[in-house]
Every structure is written in structure tokens, then in C-alpha cells.
Structure 1
Amino acid sequence: MKSPASVLIPLMLGTLMAGIDSSIVNVSLPTMSREFGVKVDAIEWVITIYMLGFCIFMPLTNWLRLRLGFYKLYIGSLSVFILGSLGCALAGNLEQLIAARALQAFGGGALSPTAMAILTTVFPANERGKVMGWWSLGGITGPAIGPTLGGILTEAFGWPSIFYINLPIGLLAIGIAARSLKFLDRSSDKNIHFDRVGFIYFTAFIVLFQYGIALLSSKGLGSLQVLIPLVVSLAAFIIFIKRSYKRPEALFDLSIFERPLYVVCIFITTLRSIALFSGLFLLPFLLQGYLKFSELDSGLMILPNSAMMAIFTPLAGKLSDKYGPRRFVMAGLALVGISMFLFSQINTPSVPFVIAAMTVRGIGLGLLVSPLTATAMNAVLPNQVTPASSVYTLVQQLSGSIGIAVSALLQQLIYQYYVGQHASDMLAEHYAIQYVFMISGVLVMVGVLVARRLPRTKARIPEQTPDAIV
């Protein structure tokens, strides 16, 4: 086997690139909104379409891994992501940008679950917390530095520069991966069955669900334009589950949900993602709205968040291998919840207060992510790792889209209430965003209670012999 560093570096670079892109866009949304002359509910599609494409492509990861192998899948995903990034940078209107974001998402959809599956396949259980910690540093640092980098680039060079930045990182990742991950290469297997009918049902669920959720903030839950897609998506999902359960060569191996610890990790991830994505979406509007911070200032104030995650992510991963994940996940969730409450109390442009909230958030995320991810992967059998990693990443994205849609809906409802109380538009928007942060904080605190079911002890090596590394 290759050295740990040679495996980790290209996986970290790919995850870093995708992670930067997931958040670098957020800080530029107000600028894009003004330039394209659209409102929040329209510019929201720049984020939503990425999640939609991400979720549609992700179920193909296991089938593509079996057909192509890890090596070709990872290199191909990086290449598609780079092409999508170039398309985003060259987009001349919102429609072109949304189309390019969809292409970008098809590449990004396989990056994280493929990297996670490679690490879980290559490294034994008692080392996964450590390697997941280092790998998560790329996935966590990317979203953390994205807003800062986005603020600097947008103010200096305009919003297209936030997509151009992916090109050198992606090309470097391909160059390194082409050499260091070559040992994972294998010949193509064209005899692998693809569950086309299951994919159609799953795609119908994802597309209709995301469409209904995206319209939630502008149309309201009582609108037929929202209710019909959501009801049909639920029907498609139920058919998909019944058809796939215990079915050989199904799109997903649903037996992973027979592992209780994996289910607990999924539930915690759902709560965390709903809260974090809603906060990530609204944070630029909080800082650049009533508080009147510039893109650059709001980006720079997120740096303490990045620094704390860089310190605590690998440390928590290593320590959770030794002492078990429970205390780290519970502490991380509690600190993230506290940071949400701090954001909900910002009424004046106080830089020290914002930095304090960012610091608490960064420590919390650093303690949370790698122990929870490693625990989820250790909970399944070795032959379930690829579908488990795909589902884990998929749940994060779906939960995030719910978080964005619900936060936008709540923000609109609370905004309308304060406008009715004769508050100015800007102040009403500020109060609405504060309340959404408070609600998100409560949701994260619920996760602390659920995390009590995580093990106290360190990870055990699975008894089943791992499948061949392909």
C-alpha cells in the first residue's frame, strides 16, 4: 500500500476544492443578486441546483466504482468539476450560471463519497479517525475559508473569479492523483448491472423534492405548486424503498440502515446539516445587510472559524480513535449551538463579537465532524462502505437543502411580521435572520441529546475481511 500521505493529499485537494466551492458562492450571492437583478428566492437556485445535481449523481457512485474502479471514478469526477467551474466563470446570465452549476455538481457528487470510501477501504478501523480527521480538514477548511476567499476575490476581481480559483486546485489534484492513486486502477467491468428503474424513482424523488422545497419560501406550504411535487416525491421515495430493500444489485444497499449506530450518525448529521446550511446561507445577508460589513470584511471575519477547524479537526479525529467519539461529538454540537445563539444576538457591527462567535463555531465543527464521520463508517461492514459513504453525503446535501428552504421561508414570514409592525425593510430582515439563527441553535442542541447514544470506547476493527481494493 502507498504511504498514508500519498493517498491523503490528492483526496484532500479534491475535497478542499469542492468544499471551497460549496461556500465561496454564498458570500457573493448578494453581489450576483444585484448584478443579475433578481431577488433572494431566485438567486437561491445557484445553491439549490448544485445540491440537486449533487444528489442525483451521487447514487451512481457505487455502480461507477464497481464498473470503473476508484481511480478512474475519482479522476473523472475531478475533470467534470473543473469543466463545470469554467462554465460558471464564463456565465453571462443567471440561467447559464445555474446550468454550469449543475454540471459542476455532477463532478462534485462523487468526490466526497469516493474519497471517504477509499480511506475506509485502505485504512483499518483503528486508524480511520486519524485519517478522516486529516481528510476532513480539506472538507472542513474548504467551506471555512470559502467565504473569506470569496469576499476577497469578489471585491477585487468580481464574482467570476470565485469559480476560476477551482481550476489550479483541480488540475493539481488530478496531477497528483494520477500518480499516487494509480495502485487503485483496474480494468473496466461492463457486466455490472445498473438499477435503471430504481434510479428513475430516486431521481424523481430528488428532483421533485428539491423543486418543492425550493418554492417553499416564495409560495408557502399551502400552495399546490409546493404540495403536489412534495407528495409525488414522497410516493416515489416509498416505491424506491420498497423496491430496493433486500434487492440484489439495488441502487443502494439499504441493509446499512440495519446498523443502529449508523442510523444514529445519520440522524445527528441530518440535524447538524439543516442548522448549518441555513446559517451558512443567511450569514452573508446578516453581515452585509443591516450591519453593513463589506464582502471583504465579512469574509475576513470568518478566518477564526477556519483557524479553529484547522487545529481541532485532525486533533479530534486522532483522540476519538483512542477515547471514543461521544464526548467530542457532544461537545462539538454544543459549541456549534452556542455559536448560533451568539449570531442571533448581533445588533451592532461589533467585530470582536462576530469573531468570538466564529471562533466558537470553528472549535465546535472541528470537534464534531471527523469523529462523527469515522463512527458512521466504522458502523458498517467493509462491503457496505461505498453505499454508506454515498448515503451519508447524500443526507448532508438533502438536509442542507431543507435547511436553506426552511430558513428562507421562516425569514420571509418573520420579515413580513416586522414590516407589519412598521419596521424598516432592512431592520425587519435583520430581525428575521436573527430568529432563524436562534431556531437553528435549538435544533443543534437536540443533536447533543441524540449523541449520547454514540459509543464511549474507541473503534473496533471489523471482523469481516475487507473486499479487494478496487
Structure 2
Amino acid sequence: MLSLIIGVFFAILNETLLNVAYVQLMKDFEVTASTIQWLTTGFLLVVGILIPITALILQWFTTRQIFLGAMSIFAVGTLICAFAPNFSILFVGRLVQAIGTGLLIPVMMNTVLVLFPKEKRGSAMGMVSLVIMVAPAIGPTLSGIIVEMFHWRFLFFFVLPFIVFSLVFAFIYLKNITKLTKPKVDIPSIVFSTLGFGGIVFGFSQAGKGTAGWSHPEVYLFIAMGVISLIVFVKRQLQLKEPILDVRAFRFPMFTLATILTVVLMMTLFSSFIILPLFLQQGLFLTAFATGLAFLPGGILNGIISQMSGRLFDKFGPRALVIPGSTIVVIVMFFFSKVTILTSVTTFIILHCSLMLGVALIMTPVQTNGLNQLPPKYYPHGAAIINTLVQVAGAIGIAVFVTVMSSSQMKFLEGVSGNVVANQAEALIAGVQNVFAIGLVFASICFLLALFIKSPIISEELDGVEETENQANVAP
């Protein structure tokens, strides 16, 4: 686990490490904001395409082979980015990095499921959550320090020594823990999966940039292609004896509930991840570095509480954590929907810390509870499904909330006249309030779903959904 945590931490850290450097990159490479956004869109696109087929990869290659291979690919991508002479080469390096990252996350989650007994899995998933939440939280802060003191290339030079250390550490200590079944590779399934998840992520990402708009063919045609391809993909998986992503995992009610709740929660989070930095910089006029610092306490608190909530889950089950956590999220989103230009930075930090506390009480218990219900044969499929849908939820969240904010600002400005600067400030407040009002709706849905969470009846022997035993544990 330590081998995996070290590698995955720096892979996920890399996801947000470039965010603060985008302005400098635009100047150095003489590209526009819509072009530089491809460093994020392309990364999400590759990860969204790759994660669904990791369930197949996990059954064809050993833990050591996948981890060492993925970290080596990530190292190559980091080197390409560090020495990139132009934007095109930097973009290629980011795509190569995304391949490594997309392989690493499901490997770590599947290892937890295989390595730890169910009664200790909460603590282990807490370690996973610590990595997944803290790494992107400290990314912007670290990026601000490095960009301010050094050149942006040091963002990649900084990561390289840790990648090398992770490779050496894993080569010495990482063991093979999975049984290889080497199922038949169904090429049409891979094609439909790529078109489905890739089309949806790309379409929503383009809409979220605010340049294409929902009515642009680039948006709705890709989303339509993605939806149709996913329908064909799911139908094919149900027909295959050895599917690459076994959607029969959704026959287990607690897993299904965990997946839906996780997706809705991620949508809620993106209302704060995307909009709050914009408001702090454009509304309260904080620097990028100061904005990164404002988010740091919440990220660290989330990591600490995630670890604690994992242990508490092992003792008390999911309901004692998920219901209070979802209640906190609802309250925080309500207060966020009332912010104004006079709201202090301290208030934002307190609200953000409270939000991260609520998320920590939900995420680890919900995912652990859902995955616990799955039989061992579904472990790689369950991990791949949750991680894939989180990426899709991210793309949809960005698109929805950026669109709401932009349209709210435009609508406000159309109905007023007078001082341009004052009107823009009021328009920004109107946009932010509308975004968090929608976030409050998502948070309320999370709370309602949390009421149905319960500890599943677990049977280690259940190895499919066709068995007649434990029918109470399987949805009709």
C-alpha cells in the first residue's frame, strides 16, 4: 500500500499542479485561454477513456507490472513536459502523464479490496481518500510557490525525483496480489467504451469552456455520440460471458447507491472547486497564490478526517457518518448561496473547511460500503466503474456550473445600466449565488440518498448475481 500511495499521490498532485501556471504558459507559448485549457481537457479525456478498460488490464497483468509500467509512463510524460519547446509537445506530455494516472488509481483501489478484509477496509480506504483529496488540494498552493520563485518547468522537475523514488521503492517492496484470469479481449467493447466515455467527457468539457456553448455542434454531437455508444456498450457487456466492464455490479443495491451518491457529491463539489477560485480572484481580488493558500486548510482537513472516518466506518458502519456529513454539506451550500462581495476571506475558508469535513464523512464510508457488497470477481469492475463516473461527473460539473455562472452574469448585465465596474461586480455575485443555489439542490439530493444507506449483508462466497442464495442482498 505504501508503494502505491507514494506513486498515486504525485500522479494526482500533477492534476492540479499546472492550474496556477496557466497564465504564464499562455504568455510563454503565445496561446489563448481556450487553447491552454486543452491541458486539462485532454488530461480528463484520456483518463475518462482509459479507466473503464482497467478492469480488463487488472485481469491480464500483475500488480507489479501495471504499477511499474504506469509509473514509468508517467515519468516519460513528466520529462516530455519539463523539456517541451512548444505547446504541442507540452500537450503530448500531458496526455502521456494521463495514461499513467488513469492506470494507477484503479490499481490502488483494487489492491485495497484484495489485500484488506472487509472489517478493516474502511481504514484502508481512508488512506486512499487522503491521497486522492490532499494531493489536488496542495497542488495549486505548491504551484504558486514554484512559479513565483522559479520557472514553470520546475513544476515537473520537482516531481521527477519522487517518481524515481516511487519506482525504486515499488520494485523492492510491491508484491503481486491478484489472480490473473486473462479474459478474452473484446475489441468492439473497447471501441464503444472509448467513444462513449470519451464523447461525453469531451462534449461536456467543450461546453464548460464557455467558448463553444451548448448549441454548438461540437458539444451536442459528441455528447449524443457518447450516449449512444454507451448504450451499445452496456448492452454488449450484458451479452458477453467475459465483459471488459461488468455492469452487473449494479445489481447490488448498496454499490449502485454508492455510485449515484458519489457522482452527485462530485457535482456538488465542482460548484465550489470551479466557482470559488474565480470569485476569490475576480471578486475579492486575491492573487493566485493567496487563493491556493485559502483552499489549503480545507484540503488538509479533508485528508485527516478521511483517514479518521475510515476507522469510524469500521466500528460504527456508514449511517453514523454519511447522514451527518450530508447534513453539513447542505448547510454549507446554503451559506455559500448567500455570499456577497462583502463576505470575508475568513468566512470563505471556514465554509470551505466545513464543506471538506462533510465530504470526508461521506466519501470514504459510502464508497467502502458499496464496494464491500461486491463479490471478489467484481472488485476490478466496481473500482473502474466508480472512478470512471467520477471523471464524467467532473466534466459535467464543470460544464453545468460554468454555463450557469456565465448566463447569470450576462442576464444580469442586460437588465442594468450605469457604472460598468459596479455592475460587473453585482453580476459576478448573481452568478455565484445561482451556481451555489443549484449546488444546494445537489447537496439536498445527497442527503436524501444518504437516508437509504445501510450496511449490506456480505457473503464472501457469492460469486455472481445468478446464484439463488442471498437474494435479499441483490436487487431484483
Structure-1-length-normalised TM-score: 0.89
Return the match for 2:196 from 205, 212, 230. 205
Quote the offset at 1:224 in angstroms.
Answer: 2.7
Q: SS of 1:302's equivalent?
A: helix
Match of 1:171 in 2: 164
Q: Contact 2:114–2:177 at 8 Å: present in 1 too? A: no
Among 299, 303, 309, the alignment partner of 1:310 is 303
Counterpart check, 1:379 vs 2:394: no
**Pairing 1:375-414 to 2, within 5 Å after superposition:** 375-414=369-408
2:184 to 193, 214, 221: 193
Equivalent residue number for residue 467 of structure 2: none
Which residue of 62, 78, 84 maps to 1:85? Answer: 78
Could you tell me whether the CA contact under 8 Å between 2:205 and 2:399 is conserved in 1? yes
**In structure 1, which of residues 131, 144, 164 is the aligned counterpart of residue 124 of structure 2?**
131
Offset, 1:17:
1.4
Count of aligned positions: 456
Query: What is the aligned partner in structure 2 of residue 224 from structure 1?
Result: 217
Corresponding residue to 1:365 among 359, 363, 367: 359
| Partner AA of 2:461 in structure 1 | Q
State the shift of 1:86 in Å: 2.7
Cα deviations across residues 380-437 of structure 1 (Å, max 9, x unaligned)?
1111001110111001001101111222222221222233234548523454244323
Counterparts in 2 of 1:362 and 1:198: CA distance versus 1, 3 Å:
same
Residue identity in the other structure for 2:450: A
Return the alpha-carbon distance in structure 2 between the equivalents of residues 222 and 296 of structure 1: 36
1:247 aligned partner, one-letter code: L
1:439 is the counterpart of 2:432: no
Deviation string 1:3-35 (CA, Å, 9 cap, x unpaired) is xxxxx2122212211332223333444544565
Query: 1:347 aligns to what SS in structure 2?
Result: coil
Tell me, yes or no, if structure 1 residue 113 matches structure 2 residue 106: yes
Deviation at residue 209 of structure 1 after TM alignment: 1.9
Tell me the C-alpha RMSD between the 2 structures.
2.6
The offset of 1:193, in angstroms, is 2.0
Matched, 1:271 2:248: no
Q: Aligned match of 1:335 in 304, 328, 333?
A: 328
Correspondence for 1:280 among 264, 273, 276 = 273
Alpha-carbon displacement from aligned partner over 1:126-156 (angstroms, at most 9, x marks no partner): 1100111122211221122222222222222
TM-score (norm 2): 0.88
Correspondence for 1:464 among 454, 457, 461 = 461
CA contact (8 A) 1:113 1:386 kept: yes
Distance 1:111 1:169 in 2: 15
Q: Tell me which residue corresponds to 2:61.
A: 68
**Residues 80 and 73 of structure 1: is their aligned pair in 2 closer, same or farther, counting only changes over 3 Å?**
same
Match of 1:165, SS state, is: helix
Q: After superposition, give the CA deviation of every residue in 1:53-86 in whole Å (9 maximum; x if it has no partner).
A: 0011112312222221112111111121222223
1:324, CA displacement in angstroms?
1.0
Cα distance in 2 for partners of 1:374, 1:396 equals 15
Q: Specify whether residues 165 and 43 from structure 1 end up closer, same or farther in structure 2 by C-alpha distance, changes over 3 A only.
A: same
Query: What CA distance in whole angstroms lies between the structure 2 residues aligned with 1:388 and 1:270?
Result: 14
Cα distance, 1:317 vs. partner? 0.6
Quickly say closer, same or farther: Cα 1:261–1:362, change in 2 above 3 A. same
Q: 1:245: which partner in 2?
A: 238
Partner of 1:91, secondary structure, is coil
C-alpha distance after superposition, 1:299-332 (max 9, x if no partner): 1122211331233111111111111112312322
